[in-house]
Amino acid sequence: MKYLITIVGPTAIGKTALSIALAQHFKSEIISCDSRQFFKEMTIGTAVPNQEELQAATHHFIQNKSIFENYTVGDYEKEALLKIEELFQNNDFAILIGGSGLYVDAILKGFDEFPEIDPAIRSEVNTNYEKLGINYLQQQLQHLDPDYFHKITLENSQTLQNPQRMMRFVEVCIGTQKPYSSFLNQKKNNRNFTPILIGLEADRQIIYDRINQRVDIMMQQGLLEEAKALYPNKALNALQTVGYRELFSYFDEDFSLPFAIEEIKKNTRRFSKRQLTWFKRNEATKWFDYATPKSEVISFIESKI
């Protein structure tokens, strides 16, 4: 039996430290599942593991791509499953860690299959978006698939601001004349491993305090300079993320620097709430307080083997 020990939870909760402890105990390697830590140009703002942490256990999918590459969750699913399969040739355990719920689901459950969409429809949707903005995509999805629009509004509202994903939803609706949601959950993807899901949580104020402290540390480490170097490429999809977007507004002179920093903290806190909402949907996850001794988590995992 092969086991994929999967660690989830909100940002700044301590997932990295736990993943390293588990990797060392089970003599296994770590698959990162953080959709922003893939990019080598983004180090401070994505809180990638530091050199000491990277040396403490072998990590995969950390800063292995460029922001200039078109790297999708589907691409990640294929590459990560191949790497997991490779790791299982020498070990019964691998560690999956991340706060990106969609990417975790891609590995554990896979994606639904969609029909091919006429490129002309894709082009038309893209043109309309460029003319009319994100509101056009939101209105189209609300009209063409109101149930799915309502679902993502409640569960992951940040998706409504993601033009790439919104264009995909809309083009599928138009190209198939069916709601996007009608193609979801049609089949089960077989996986050759057994997942053991571990969630880390804490009282909300503790999470918020840890986030605020992390942002202050990022600024001390040079996040402002990192964002300034990336500013000329601010339209890239990889950079549409908390920590960079707010500093870009500072460079645009829309925000003062203190206000931008407070916005990073506020938006990261909001993101952490959405992460918990997403991960709490999976009833198979065993939740631990962030301060639980790692030996207790290891004992739980060993009881499931």
pTM: 0.78
CA separation for the pair 251, 227 (Å, rounded)? 9
Q: What is the domain partition of the chain in residue ranges?
A: 3-111+189-304, 119-183
CA separation for the pair 139, 181 (Å, rounded)? 16
Task: Please give the distance of CA 264 from its chain centroid, rounded to a whole number.
Answer: 17
Residue in 10, 8, 38 with CA at minimum distance from that of residue 239: 38
Q: Is 9 annotated as a binding residue?
A: yes
Residue in 232, 235, 236, 256 with CA at minimum distance from that of residue 246: 256
Predicted pLDDT at 210: 97
CATH topology identical between 3-111+189-304 and 119-183: no
Q: Which two tokens stand for residue 286?
A: 């065993």
CA separation for the pair 245, 146 (Å, rounded)? 29
CA separation for the pair 18, 300 (Å, rounded)? 13
Q: Is 11 annotated as a binding residue?
A: yes
What average pLDDT does the segment 164-184 reach?
Answer: 91
255-294: per-residue pLDDT in tens?
Answer: 999 999 999 999 999 999 989 988 998 999 999 999 999 9
Q: Is 120 annotated as a binding residue?
A: no
Q: Which two tokens stand for residue 72?
A: 């999708």
Fold of 119-183: Histone, subunit A (1.10.20)
Q: Is 14 annotated as a binding residue?
A: yes
Q: Is 80 annotated as a binding residue?
A: no
Its CATH architecture, for the domain 3-111+189-304, is 3-Layer(aba) Sandwich (3.40)
Q: Is 159 annotated as a binding residue?
A: no
Q: How confident is the model at residue 109 (pLDDT cuts 50, 70, 90)?
A: confident
Predicted pLDDT at 117: 86
- Judged by DSSP in three states, 93 sits in strand
What is the rounded average pLDDT for all residues in the chain? Answer: 93
Q: What burial class does residue 47 get, using C-beta atoms within 10 Å of its C-beta: 0-12 exposed, 13-18 middle, 19+ buried?
A: buried
Q: Where are the alpha helices (DSSP H) in the chain?
A: 15-25, 51-56, 73-88, 101-108, 119-132, 134-144, 146-155, 163-176, 204-221, 223-230, 245-251, 257-280, 294-304
8-55: per-residue pLDDT in tens?
Answer: 999 999 999 999 999 999 999 999 999 999 999 999 999 999 999 999
183-197: per-residue pLDDT in tens?
Answer: 887 665 689 999 999
